[in-house]
Structure 1
């Protein structure tokens, strides 16, 4: 039986890295995309190959650029026969607090392209391949309550792109269901950078009482949900926006703190 292949954008670090670990453990072949983190991507690929014996390649590219997306898919297909799973984890984010009028045209366009248009680029390239085999999994990442299109002060471009992506994800789910393709969005809670590459065991050991469930969220928490959605028997879950927040009101916290960012 042919092994399935997953393309993970932004897979060299953070939540993308934890996702790569989870999917390699499930036996998937991987194409790990990175923009600048070549050494991290190559090191991760080597580590996962040694641990799980699955074929893994790295593909450089900026998802905000269509030509890069085209090349990434071509390189993946030159190493594997198909792309069965697309995990769109990469997404530019500006930590500086800026009102809409303070964004430059370049910043605005880059955030929209990297968080929204990139999924159009990659889906347009990959979905025809998924249709041929009548099977596919598309998983995007959002933020808490994204499906309600909430306002988010100082994050206008990011929020606009991700709310648009929520609608696009659900549209793909409807359009492609007949072809055995599912599309879902996973929405991480307030997972700070230092915890994006850590696991649940580490989080339990470092008890954090400010989160309702009693511990800090980790990249593994998100990656486990993504891995579940890729499963053969998860085909009944499509068009879903799934919050993984530990019970915390992420946007409410951001507003209360004058927007702490993500």
Structure 2
């Protein structure tokens, strides 16, 4: 990260895309705060791996749907490092089972909205003063493919509503915080599943994925390398954007439907 050592908080980073992001930023000179809910063992293993790279690492248990745990996480991070320069809002609940809106319970609706919108907003709110203090910051939100178009997504009504709301918030926050040297962007991963979340691009060389126009599965590296670019000091002119990293996949109207 060009000399000065930054501190990056990545939510939900004990496994998957968050883990790949944590390792990538650590290799680029950042100290890391790993947050997790249930994956204590994986978080501890990642902490050792990050320390082996030569970066410092703090692990914190925190559920992004619980305001008091979000506040405690930021307090622990500030006590340890005195700063948070990069915030990657990777954590966000998702119910893969396809259901109509009327089939969700009130508790599930609140859980999805809080985890994908309200919790993210609260975390940003608590971290912004730390970034403003140094007149430098990078905030990354996670969305889904074509979220910026605010199209309907049948069977994903609550999740989609939260993320589309987050698109507007991303753009607003980017404008409001630009004068403080803080950029705010959203990345929209494709349907990267299972073990591929922790693989590199080289790992899937030669592997075919008929669902993506690109023809190969996405990996954790595909996502982490874009996040790392957005966190570079000279990426300060890139803000208020949504970036699809999907190999051309449209999650609402997949390639199978286009070929039919």
Aligning the two structures, in what range does the TM-score lie when normalised by the shorter sequence? over 0.9
Unpaired segments ≥5 residues, structure 1: 258-262
Unpaired segments ≥5 residues, structure 2: none
Q: Which residue of 2 aligns with 1:137?
A: 138
Q: Tell me, yes or no, if structure 1 residue 152 matches structure 2 residue 169.
A: no
Q: Which residue of 2 aligns with 1:196?
A: 197
Which of 30, 34, 37 is matched with 1:35 structurally? 37
Q: Which residue of 1 aligns with 2:252?
A: 251
Distance 1:148 1:3, change over 3 A: same
**What is the root-mean-square deviation of aligned Cα atoms in Å?**
1.5
Alpha-carbon deviations, 1:72-110, whole Å to 9, x = none?
Answer: 001111110200000000000111221111111110001
Distance in 2 between the 1:83 and 1:10 partners? 16
Distance in 1 between the 2:205 and 2:184 partners? 31
Structure-1-length-normalised TM-score = 0.94
Q: Which residue of 1 aligns with 2:16?
A: 14
Deviation (angstroms), 1:199: 1.0
Number of equivalent positions: 256
Q: Tell me, yes or no, if structure 1 residue 106 matches structure 2 residue 69.
A: no
Distance in 2 between the 1:7 and 1:95 partners? 26
Deviation (angstroms), 1:26: 0.4
Q: Which residue of 2 aligns with 1:235?
A: 236
Distance 1:63 1:33, change over 3 A: same
Contact 2:77 2:84 in 1 (8 A): yes
Q: Which residue of 1 aligns with 2:84?
A: 83
- Partner-residue secondary structure (3-state), 1:7: strand
Q: Which residue of 2 aligns with 1:186?
A: 187
Distance in 2 between the 1:254 and 1:108 partners? 29
Distance in 1 between the 2:235 and 2:138 partners? 10
Deviation (angstroms), 1:255: 8.8
- Partner-residue secondary structure (3-state), 2:58: strand
Contact 2:212 2:255 in 1 (8 A): no
Distance 1:132 1:255, change over 3 A: farther
Q: Which residue of 2 aligns with 1:162?
A: 163
- Partner-residue secondary structure (3-state), 2:252: helix
Deviation (angstroms), 1:198: 1.0
Segment of structure 1 superposing worse, 96-105 or 86-95 = 96-105
Equivalences for residues 202-217 of structure 1 within 5 A: 202-217=203-218
Distance 1:209 1:103, change over 3 A: closer
Distance in 2 between the 1:108 and 1:74 partners? 28
Deviation (angstroms), 1:45: 1.0
